Each structure stands twice: as structure tokens, then as C-alpha cells.
Amino acid sequence: MLRRWRAWRENRQIAKIQLSEQQWQQAMAYPSAAQLAPVMTQRWRDMTLRFLLRKNFYSGAGFVISDEVRLRISAQATLPVLALGLHWYDDWDSIVVYETAFIPPFAQRDESGLVSHSRRVLSGEA
């Protein structure tokens, strides 16, 4: 029952999204996307919009997240699970977006209890 209500609510929200064909074409500008059958392209679009509705996007280091960025990230995230389904991302709540690579501090404790502090450049993860 709850699943049907969620789908009904999402369908109503998706119907309100103003997404032009040009915006969608820009979001799906990946080489593997051109090989998708039309039915899979439609599934990808639906999954992308549902991903957009279900996930929270947060800015890292002051990066301004536009609707275009959110759409592209959602399209990238859903393409690998296109045949598997969005439930693979159920444990994900949020996406943190940085404009460039970032350098967070790390603390690592070894088996003797000594804590070493380091910093390393990360990109593509948070």
C-alpha cells in the first residue's frame, strides 16, 4: 500500500517537472546512451526523474548546484542500474557535490593505538 502511494505521489511530482527535450538530450550525452533502445531510454528518463525526487543534493565547499548539475548527476547515477532498478540506491539519502577535487583531513589509528593524521586529494567521492 505504501509503495503504491509513493509511486502515485512521485508520478504527480514528475508530471510537474518542466524538463525540455533539449535539457534531457544534454543530460544523456554519453556514448553508451546512444545504444539504448527507445523503451530503455524512456525507462532511464523516468528513473532519472525519480532519483532527482528521492535524493538530496548538497554543496561541498560552496559549489552552487544548478538544476542542470542535479539532472546530469541523476542521469549518470541511474544509467548503471537501469536494468536493476532504483532500489539499489535506497540506502543513499544525499549526494554531496564539489566543483573540483577536495582535500579532507583523515585520522587513522593503527593496531598499537597510534593515530596518524594525513590529507589526500579526493575526486568523485565524499
Report pLDDT for 122.
Answer: 80
Tally of CB atoms within 10 A around 50? 20
Query: What is the predicted pLDDT for the residue at 106?
Result: 82
pLDDT digits (tens, 9 = 90+) for 8-33: 999 999 999 888 889 988 888 888 88
Q: Is 41 helix (H, G, I), strand (E, B) or coil?
A: helix
pLDDT, position 99: 82
Please indicate whether residue 126 or residue 48 has the higher confidence score (pLDDT). Answer: 48
Indicate the DSSP class of residue 7. H
Q: What percent of the chain has pLDDT over 70?
A: 98
Burial degree of 105 (CB within 10 A; 0-12, 13-18, 19+): exposed
Model pLDDT for residues 58-94, shown as the tens digit of each residue: 998 888 999 999 999 999 999 999 999 999 999 999 9
- Cα–Cα distance measured from residue 96 to residue 108, given in angstroms and rounded to the nearest whole number: 23
The CATH code of domain 2-99 reads 1.10.472.150
One-letter amino acid of 98: Y
pLDDT at 49: 95
Beta bridge partners of 98: 60
